[in-house]
């Protein structure tokens, strides 16, 4: 019932459900498209929500693009595949997307379903326009080569970390910029800005997913750079032990501070977007990323369990992000929340403040700030039971009406 203590989040959740129902009715009827959008929902609920911001043609291209890269990532992540098998698949994956008869079973749960039915994704890919196909092929080829490189090496330095994140996420930024350009709705963004859009999201995910990744079976694959974590512990897995909590949090803060360096480029990229649907598609994940950085910063729970933005706040961000003013306002507020958590005794406190101040200065100088009142804490009050019941009934009724 916690979400009901924030009526603005309840309203956003209802509107999100209504919008999702509307989009579902626009999915092409063919079996391969039904599979693609169902699989998108299963492997990334958050991305499935964000992709709703795009128009039908671009939405189909981005859906296929995401599933192709998710399949490639599934091959990379499956630590049970011998390297002599895995490396050629990663390097040749861009060719396999043209072949509906290609099959390689790996991964687990929904990811195995994706791999076992990859012919459906290939069929959808082959229906895209040539410009979309070439953009997806190019990024898949480059990403596969980069993944193959890092299968055989550890992320030692911050430069290695940036390079790895470029291959698995910066190139996604390149690809999306090319897809936007192919529609004729956007100018082609500079590569360094597209790269930063991917790096900020990827680094946030790497930070947030520490515990899940370190506990992965049969063996973990970690991307926290040794150059950072070795300042605090002897082994990366030592960060999860309670006796190392102080050092773990300091290391975490170092990682978040590193991620914040990309925020300025992200703001510059988003401010140049012309099409509102493209803008919302890009802006919502970036706001989620700065919010997640604020949640993770100085938070030992990253090493104890799952740390993520609550559902109601996510819905509110999706609902309210409509203009660059909303982006500046969200970045300013979440940066301020992160700033309030800085401990002066933290080894990186001064650098963290400097990067937060730079973000806030950029946002403030836009002259477009407005108060959103975002918060990361649990509510300190409860709504009267009658109001809770009314809101719940409204949500149920609207969900039923729009689901038909």
pLDDT band at residue 9 using 50, 70 and 90 as cut-offs: confident
| Peptide bond before residue 132 is cis, with ω within 30 degrees of 0 | no
Known active-site residue 328: no
pLDDT band at residue 373 using 50, 70 and 90 as cut-offs: confident
* Catalytic member of 6, 70, 178, 208: 208
Known active-site residue 402: no
In whole angstroms, give the CA distance from residue 67 to residue 91.
17
- Examine the pLDDT at 264 and tell me if it is beyond 80: yes
pLDDT tens track for 297-326: 999 999 999 898 888 888 899 989 999 999
pLDDT of residue 341: 97
Task: Give the closest residue to 193 by CA, choosing from 180, 211, 206.
Answer: 180
Known active-site residue 221: yes
Which residues touch 59 (CB under 8 Å, ≥6 apart)?
A: 51, 52
Q: Tokens standing for 384?
A: 């009267």
Which residues touch 144 (CB under 8 Å, ≥6 apart)?
A: 72, 90, 91, 92, 93, 94
* Catalytic member of 118, 167, 210, 281: 281
In whole angstroms, give the CA distance from residue 14 to residue 339.
32
* Catalytic member of 15, 24, 112, 221: 221
In whole angstroms, give the CA distance from residue 81 to residue 304.
29
* Domains of the chain and any CATH numbers: 26-152 (1.10.600.10), 198-403 (1.10.600.10)
- Examine the pLDDT at 81 and tell me if it is beyond 60: yes
| Peptide bond before residue 218 is cis, with ω within 30 degrees of 0 | yes
139 with 174: CB under 8 angstroms? yes
What is the rounded (10 degree) CA torsion for 269, 273, 279, 281?
Answer: -60
pLDDT of residue 390: 57
Does pTM top 0.85 for this prediction? Answer: yes
How many alpha carbons fall within 13 Å on the CB side of residue 17? 19
Helices (H), 241-367: 245-260, 263-271, 276-296, 311-320, 324-339, 349-365
DSSP 356-383: HHHHHHHHHHTT---------SPPSS--
* Catalytic member of 37, 161, 164, 332: 164
Known active-site residue 208: yes
pLDDT tens track for 356-367: 999 999 999 999
In whole angstroms, give the CA distance from residue 208 to residue 252.
9
């Amino acid at each position: 019932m916690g979400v009901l203590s924030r009526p603005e989040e309840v309203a956003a959740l209802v509107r999100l459900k209504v919008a999702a129902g509307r989009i579902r009715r626009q999915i092409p009827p063919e079996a391969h498209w039904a599979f693609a959008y169902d699989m998108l929902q299963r492997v990334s609920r958050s991305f499935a929500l964000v992709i709703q911001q795009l128009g039908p043609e671009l939405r189909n291209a981005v859906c296929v693009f995401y599933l192709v890269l998710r399949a490639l990532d599934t091959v990379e992540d499956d630590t049970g595949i011998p390297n002599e098998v895995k490396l050629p698949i990663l390097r040749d994956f861009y060719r396999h997307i043209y072949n509906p008869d290609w099959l390689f079973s790996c991964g687990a749960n929904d990811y195995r379903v994706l791999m076992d039915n990859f012919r459906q994704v290939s069929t959808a890919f082959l229906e895209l326009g040539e410009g979309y196909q070439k953009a997806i092929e190019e990024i898949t080829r480059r990403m596969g080569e980069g993944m193959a490189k890092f299968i055989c090496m550890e992320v030692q330095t911050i430069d290695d970390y940036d390079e790895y994140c470029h291959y698995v996420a910066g190139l996604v930024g390149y690809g999306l910029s090319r897809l936007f350009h192919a529609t004729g709705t956007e100018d082609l963004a500079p590569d360094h800005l597209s790269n930063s859009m991917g790096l900020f999201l990827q680094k946030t995910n790497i930070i947030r997913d520490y515990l899940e990744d370190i506990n992965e079976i049969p063996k973990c694959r970690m991307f926290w750079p040794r150059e950072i974590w070795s300042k605090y512990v002897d082994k990366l897995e030592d960060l999860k032990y309670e006796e190392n909590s102080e050092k773990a949090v300091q290391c975490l803060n170092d990682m978040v501070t590193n991620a914040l360096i990309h925020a300025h480029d992200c703001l510059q990229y988003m401010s140049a977007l012309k099409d509102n649907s493209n803008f919302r598609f890009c802006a919502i994940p970036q706001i989620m990323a700065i919010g997640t950085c604020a949640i993770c910063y100085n938070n030992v729970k990253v090493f104890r369990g799952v740390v993520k933005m609550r559902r109601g706040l996510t819905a509110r961000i999706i609902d309210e992000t409509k203009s660059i003013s909303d982006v500046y306002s969200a970045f300013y507020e979440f940066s301020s929340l992160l700033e309030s958590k800085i401990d002066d005794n933290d080894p990186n406190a001064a650098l963290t403040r400097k990067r937060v101040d730079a973000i806030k200065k950029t946002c403030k100088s836009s002259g477009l700030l407005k108060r959103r009142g975002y918060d990361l804490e649990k509510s300190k009050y409860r709504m009267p039971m009658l109001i809770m019941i009314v809101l719940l009934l409204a949500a149920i009724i609207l969900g039923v009406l729009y689901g038909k």
